Amino acid sequence: MNTIANYLETMFLNLPETQQILQVKADLLANMEDKYQELKAAGISENEAVGTVISEFGNIDELLEELYISNGESVEEGPLPIIDQETAEAYIAAKRSIGKWIGSGVLFCILGVCFLLFLSQWDRDGFEIIGVIGMFMFIAIGVALFIVSGFHINAYEQLEKGVVLVGSVRKELEEKKKNYEKSYMVAIIVGVTLCILGVILMLGSTLAGTDQAEEYGAIALLLCAGSGTFFFIYSGNMISSYTTLLKQDKKRQPTPGEQKASTVMNVISSIFWPLMVVIYLWWSFSTGSWAISWVIWPLSGVLHEIVEKCVNGVVKN
């Protein structure tokens, strides 16, 4: 009996949980159970009975197609992707690579500024021009890494709009996320420590009382802050790969209202997060406050959650 119920659950995974779909599901389950009991009473073995029931009731495509046409409940954007273990692992691996590329991109941009500051200490003809050229070369590499990371995640763009996880995939993802949380905390601690170290070095250089020492202190601050930011971005991408799949898992196909709310929120997110990146980089580069500017990310996360709840409350209703 459990086999029949589990099979029916799998058949309905790709459908929104509307009242009418639930009724069809309940009726089918009752009919399948009646047929199973009838076959068992006739002396047929359990495996044969289950196989016969599934073969007779297994194809419900025509019934569901008629149901959708008569009630106009089809979802404009189509059903959400159903994710198995292989797809989930591929998505996590992609997010890991993206974390490295974005973190490295930020680090290269900072290295460009450090290169310019370092050469500016040398009072020689041409060094300033070399410094400017070198800075833009480092920044170009950083921007290239940002672009590559964007292309790499395109294949999984649909997964971030919503998914339906298969069977035990959710349980395995929850376990992996729990195991990674320790590494995530270590990465955050290392990142914060590096930022604090940069501030200490900067303050120490000011005590020396020379312009050259202050310049080197600024370079040390940028390098420490950039390295710390790399840990923030890389570990953040890793934990978000688990969070995205688990949070976006609908456990069933969404209703049209839920799908509409998700679409609106995706548009808002596509503007919100790039804007946060721009603000973060502008704040960090213009003020040199790398040890402080990272707080924009937890604050942005809280603000994003508030906006999402407001959108869900308005659009769904």
Residues 210 and 121 in one domain: yes
Into how many domains does the chain fold?
2
* pLDDT at residue number 36: 77
* pLDDT at residue number 74: 44
Distance (Å, whole) CA 204 – CA 310: 47
Residues 226 and 159 in one domain: yes
* pLDDT at residue number 252: 57
Residues 92 and 199 in one domain: yes
Contact 179, 166 (CB under 8 A): no
Distance (Å, whole) CA 153 – CA 93: 11
Distance (Å, whole) CA 225 – CA 42: 75
> DSSP letter string over 60-85?
-HHHHHHHHHHHT---TT-PPPEE-H
* pLDDT at residue number 190: 92
- Give whole-number Cα distances, 231 to 18, 32, 33, 104, 110, in Å: 44, 54, 55, 10, 15
* pLDDT at residue number 170: 80
Residues 161 and 186 in one domain: yes
* pLDDT at residue number 71: 40
Contact 273, 222 (CB under 8 A): no
* pLDDT at residue number 58: 58
Residues 224 and 154 in one domain: yes
Mean pLDDT, contiguous 10-residue spans, the chain (317 residues): 70 60 72 79 80 69 51 48 78 87 89 85 73 88 85 70 71 86 91 90 81 82 89 88 76 63 76 84 80 80 83 67
The one-letter code for the residue type at 94 is A
Contact 175, 267 (CB under 8 A): no
Task: Examine residue 19 and state whether it is found in any structural domain, yes or no.
Answer: yes
Percent helix, strand, coil in the chain (nearest 5)? 80, 5, 15
Distance (Å, whole) CA 91 – CA 308: 23
* pLDDT at residue number 158: 67
> DSSP letter string over 212-226?
HHHHHHHHHHHHHHH
Instruction: Write out the residue range of the structural domain in which residue 210 sits.
Output: 82-251
Radius of gyration of the chain (CA): 27
Residues 99 and 62 in one domain: no
Contact 273, 281 (CB under 8 A): no
Residues 25 and 150 in one domain: no
How many CB atoms are located within 10 Å of the residue 309 CB? 10
Per-residue buried b or exposed e for 160-173, using 16+ beta carbons within 10 Å of the residue's own CB = bbbbbbeeebbeeb
Last-in-domain residue among 232, 251, 270: 251
Residues 101 and 48 in one domain: no
**Residue in this structure with the two tokens 């580069």, named with its chain if needed:** 285
* pLDDT at residue number 77: 47
pTM of the predicted protein model: 0.54
Task: Examine residue 213 and state whether it is found in any structural domain, yes or no.
Answer: yes
